[in-house]
Amino acid sequence: MSQIITRGKELIRISPKDSKKLEKSTNGGVSWSTKFSGSSSVGEFQDLTDVGKEILGTTSKGLFKSTNDGVSWSKK
């Protein structure tokens, strides 16, 4: 289970202030910006897993996948 994953040169984490959102860092975690601003259909993120071609996100609404590095999500 992970709250933060590495995708290439980018770190992606569940926002510590709002678990419906994902944040990204391109400078090793020095600063963060919004990657995914949340959706009522996706719910609150609990876990992120990098499985190569996609990211899996366990949320309060079930299992979701992203094929574009966490920009958008669909039900798995």
Which tens digits make up the pLDDT trace of 30-55?
A: 999 999 999 999 999 999 999 999 99
d(CA 47, CA 44): 9
Q: How many helices (H) and strands (E) does the chain have?
A: 0, 8
pLDDT score, position 1: 56
pLDDT score, position 2: 76
**Amino acid, res. 67:** T
The DSSP element (H or E) to which 73 belongs, if any, is: none
Is a pLDDT exceeding 80 seen at residue 61?
yes
**Which one, of 64, 60, 66, lies nearest residue 43 by Cα?**
60
pLDDT score, position 54: 97
pLDDT score, position 4: 95
> pTM for this one?
0.93
Average pLDDT (15-42) is 97
